[in-house]
Amino acid sequence: MSVLLLRLAGPMQSWGDSSRFARRTTRREPTKSGIVGLIASALGRTREDPVDDLAQLELAVRVEQPGQLMRDFQTERPLQGKPMPLSNRYYLADACFLAALGGSDELLRRIEAALRLPRRPLYLGRRSCPADMPLCLGIDSDADDVRAVLSVAPWAASEHYKARHSGVASLEVVADARDGELCESWADYPLTFSASGRRYACRPVVRLRVPNPDADASDAGEPIEDAPRSRGGVPVPEHDPLGWME
């Protein structure tokens, strides 16, 4: 297996997996359906073309810079007829992520070539969100674990963000869950992007933390080594919303 590393950054991003009607939400991290759509667009595939080979790639995303959640209130009124419903659309502003895709070397090299010379525009979740450059950070042909690649990849946040957060000792990773891992379910596994009806399946996802390779040891907080480890990173502690009552 090889691993392709992508940098997902731009003025705005929107990664929805449950948007309905007048409320268009976004997740705080990129979805698999959004990344597969980005790659399919670069390859020049139509909505009717299959995406099974892309969806089967193993995915892990590291949060470099979480950005700010932004709400865009929209209204529209035609010259004739009834006005359109008011809508609220949510975006991530000034966010940055590293996405590691694991799969066959041949497929990843075709994807990398397409992303460097795309046949269609590239956008981060929605067409109004163009991707910043550089997008491709290269392929590691010797790697066999997407999580391991993210544990050593340089911190890709902006210099301004790094200067203000030099004490960040670890970074969050959202990855395809493996057997036996405590996970959550995201409805973002693309089955088809067909115009006649897009369909998605649920994907088991696990949240981990990995050491920040660029952390300033003199400013960093509690060492990440003090937390219990599992293969590929440190699990994020489970949150109990009623814990304050104890």
Looking at residue 75, what is its pLDDT?
A: 75
Q: What number is the average pLDDT over the span 63-81?
A: 85
Q: Structural domain tally of the chain?
A: 1
Q: Is residue 233 part of a domain?
A: no
Q: Is residue 38 part of a domain?
A: yes
pLDDT above 90 coverage of the chain, percent: 70
Looking at residue 186, what is its pLDDT?
A: 95
144 versus 22: the higher-pLDDT residue is 144
Task: Say if CB 201 and CB 33 are below 8 A apart.
Answer: no
Q: Is residue 241 part of a domain?
A: no
CA atoms within 13 A on the CB side of 245: 3
Task: Say if CB 132 and CB 122 are below 8 A apart.
Answer: no
Looking at residue 216, what is its pLDDT?
A: 62
- In sequence order, the 6+-apart residues with CB closer than 8 A to the CB of 145 are 3, 102, 232
The mean-pLDDT minimum among 199-208, 209-218, 228-237 falls in 228-237
Residue 91 lies in domain? 2-226
DSSP states along 3-47? EEEEEEEEEEE---SS-BTTEE---SS--HHHHHHHHHHHHT--T
How many other CB atoms sit within 10 Å of the CB of residue 112?
22
Q: Is residue 246 part of a domain?
A: no
Confidence of residue 240 (pLDDT cuts 50, 70, 90): low
In this structure, what CATH number is given to the domain that contains residue 20?
A: 3.30.70.2660
Q: Is residue 245 part of a domain?
A: no
The mean-pLDDT minimum among 22-36, 50-64, 79-93, 147-161 falls in 79-93
Task: Say if CB 101 and CB 54 are below 8 A apart.
Answer: no
d(CA 85, CA 74): 9
Under DSSP, the state recorded for 123 is: B
Looking at residue 242, what is its pLDDT?
A: 53
Burial of 73 by CB count in 10 Å (0-12 exposed, 13-18 middle, 19+ buried)? exposed
109 phi, psi to nearest 5 deg: -70, -35
Q: Is residue 108 part of a domain?
A: yes
Looking at residue 238, what is its pLDDT?
A: 56
DSSP states along 137-185? EEEETT---HHHHHHHSPP-S-HHHHHHTTT--EEEEEEE--TT---EE
Looking at residue 19, what is its pLDDT?
A: 63
Under DSSP, the state recorded for 49 is: S
How many other CB atoms sit within 10 Å of the CB of residue 230?
14
Mean pLDDT of the chain: 87
Whole-prediction pTM = 0.82
158 versus 239: the higher-pLDDT residue is 158
Q: Is residue 234 part of a domain?
A: no
Judged against a pLDDT cut of 50, whether residue 217 lies above it is answered with no
Q: Which helix (H) or strand (E) holds 68?
A: strand 68-74
Q: What number is the average pLDDT over the span 149-169?
A: 93
Q: Which helix (H) or strand (E) holds 108?
A: helix 105-116
Under DSSP, the state recorded for 245 is: G
CA atoms within 13 A on the CB side of 52: 1
What tokens appear for 58 in the block? 């193993």
Judged against a pLDDT cut of 80, whether residue 63 lies above it is answered with yes
243 versus 222: the higher-pLDDT residue is 243
Judged against a pLDDT cut of 80, whether residue 114 lies above it is answered with yes
Q: Is residue 236 part of a domain?
A: no
Judged against a pLDDT cut of 80, whether residue 162 lies above it is answered with yes
Q: What number is the average pLDDT over the span 144-155?
A: 96
